[in-house]
Amino acid sequence: MLFLHHIYAYMVKISGVIITFNEEKKIEQCLKSLLPVCDEIVVLDSLSTDKTEEICSRYEVRFIKQKFLGYIEQKNHALTFASNNLVLSLDADECLSESLQKSIEQIKNNQTTTAYSMNRLTRYCDKWIYHSGWYPDVKVRLFDKTKAQWGGTNPHDKIILSERTSVQHLKGDLLHYSIDSIEQHIQQATKFGIIAAKAKFAKGQSSNGFNTLLHTAGRFLKTYILKAGFLDGYYGWLIAKYSAKSVYLRYSLLEPRNHEKLNSL
């Protein structure tokens, strides 16, 4: 018994951290996948109006409400509520595969570094997408919060690691239940395009018609041809199309003639 106590005392503890807003359809599967590997789960909610809080209350979750600050800002704020330094940060529409759970369980017994990456596999409507630049979508999601923070440009956040921080890649996939319908993809492409345009505008960036056309065409060709989106069939075509649409919005709204329109969105 003393030997077992000694082992348990040195097991690494992990805090699961999620940000949410009206995620009643997907939050439960996310929570269930974290339960086997996390010693606590923190949910920072942006004032949801659906059953997100009710669903979280069924589990041992620390549920905190905070007006949305921006994707990067919200995720960094969520880290401050984690009791443990080692944090597993997921979006509400993501969950751990069984093989990824096993990889993380091994870390609890033998932590070898301060940051871990994993492949993210995205589901588009009823199909897992293995091309189009969507897989392997390598993400650092398990890390020591004292040596990392969220950065990038909204809405495309990413983990920024301290210098000399090594990253180990884990076996298993982070399952991303991203797009449930084509209509949702259109809405998401529009939303993310506007957010990205505002972030660039705030940094003083601008664009012109030629630049907009170049980036839009480049994104479509990269996604559909260079990243073999055509191998994903009809969905691959749609992914390339709406990815290009998002890029078009991002740059066209930065053209001087559209600055007034951008400020009104």
Same domain (yes/no): 167, 254: no
pLDDT of residue 10: 66
Same domain (yes/no): 145, 210: no
Same domain (yes/no): 161, 216: no
Q: 45-75: b or e for each residue (b if 16 or more CB lie within 10 Å)?
A: bbebeeebbebbeeeebebeeeeeeebbebb
Nearest residue to 107 (alpha-carbon basis) of 29, 36, 2: 36
Same domain (yes/no): 100, 208: no
DSSP H or E segment with residue 92? none
User: In CATH, what number is assigned to the domain containing residue 17?
Assistant: 3.90.550.10
Examine the pLDDT at 41 and tell me if it is beyond 70: yes
Same domain (yes/no): 125, 189: no
CA atoms within 13 A on the CB side of 24: 9
Average pLDDT value for the chain: 94
Same domain (yes/no): 29, 130: yes
Same domain (yes/no): 43, 125: yes
Same domain (yes/no): 168, 189: no
Examine the pLDDT at 4 and tell me if it is beyond 50: no
By the 8 A CB rule, do 11 and 108 touch?
yes
Domain boundary among 147, 162, 179: 179
DSSP H or E segment with residue 24? none
Q: H-type helices in 93-224, by residue range? A: 98-109, 182-202, 209-221
Nearest residue to 186 (alpha-carbon basis) of 253, 121, 250, 239: 239
Same domain (yes/no): 187, 153: no
Domain boundary among 123, 147, 179: 179
Same domain (yes/no): 248, 164: no
Domain boundary among 136, 154, 179: 179
Report pLDDT digits (tens) over 127-162.
999 999 999 999 999 999 999 999 998 888 999 999
Nearest residue to 91 (alpha-carbon basis) of 125, 144, 35, 45: 45
Residue 110, φ and ψ in degrees, nearest 5: -155, 80
pLDDT of residue 163: 84
Our count of domains for the chain comes to 2
By the 8 A CB rule, do 122 and 134 touch?
yes
Report pLDDT digits (tens) over 189-216.
999 999 999 999 999 999 999 999 999 9
The range of the structural domain enclosing residue 253 comes to: 182-264
pTM above 0.85, yes or no: yes
Residue 105, φ and ψ in degrees, nearest 5: -60, -35
Nearest residue to 178 (alpha-carbon basis) of 17, 18, 43, 23: 23
Same domain (yes/no): 143, 42: yes
Same domain (yes/no): 174, 186: no
Examine the pLDDT at 261 and tell me if it is beyond 50: yes
By the 8 A CB rule, do 130 and 119 touch?
no
Mean pLDDT of all residues in 165-174: 96
